[in-house]
Amino acid sequence: MAMRFEKRLGDRDAWAVGDGCSAGRVLDLLSTRTVFMVVRECFYGTTRFEDFAARIGTSAPAVSRALKQLEAAGVVARTPYREPGRRARDEYRLTQAGEELLPVFLSLVQWGDAHLQDGRPPLSFVEADTGRAVRVRVTAEEAAEQPSDGIEVRLHPRARVRGGGGGAAGG
């Protein structure tokens, strides 16, 4: 199966999107596992640099590069904070553009759950108020969007969890 093209785009060799391809640009932005995992952690509520490195399990320089890349693209915004008696530091939070990556993130998780988890997805995503499963689908219908703060992440009942409960289950 493949998408159909309108008549004027029927000759695929006569036109090319090239470097203007939006999918290609998104892949350039989310070009490393670390960059994408930083976005995941933002959706999960992580805001501080050292917490990103610990939760993702990667080096501080890799997290620093990822945050700079996401900040330059307008996906995250840096906000200074200071704990009493400590030096000023930065927190990172999703911007509106970052929040709009939610369906991208959830669709990748949904596909991975279906095709890579051997029947055992580690997490489920539900509406916080109703407990109804949240799913991404392609549709022409208008439906109400669910912002990330309206979604609750739950440990899937059949999931295997590493360690004693402090570690990430994945997703």
When mean pLDDT is compared across 14-28, 52-66, 101-115, the lowest value belongs to 14-28
pLDDT digits 0-9 by tens, 24-74: 899 999 989 999 999 999 999 999 999 999 999 999 999 999 999 999 999
Cβ-contact 161, 169 below 8 angstroms: yes
Q: What residue spans define the domains of the chain?
A: 22-95, 101-162
Cα–Cα dist 51/66, whole Å: 14
Q: Under CATH, which number does the domain 22-95 receive?
A: 1.10.10.10
Average pLDDT score, the chain = 87
Cα–Cα dist 39/23, whole Å: 17
Element holding 127 (H helix, E strand) = strand 123-127
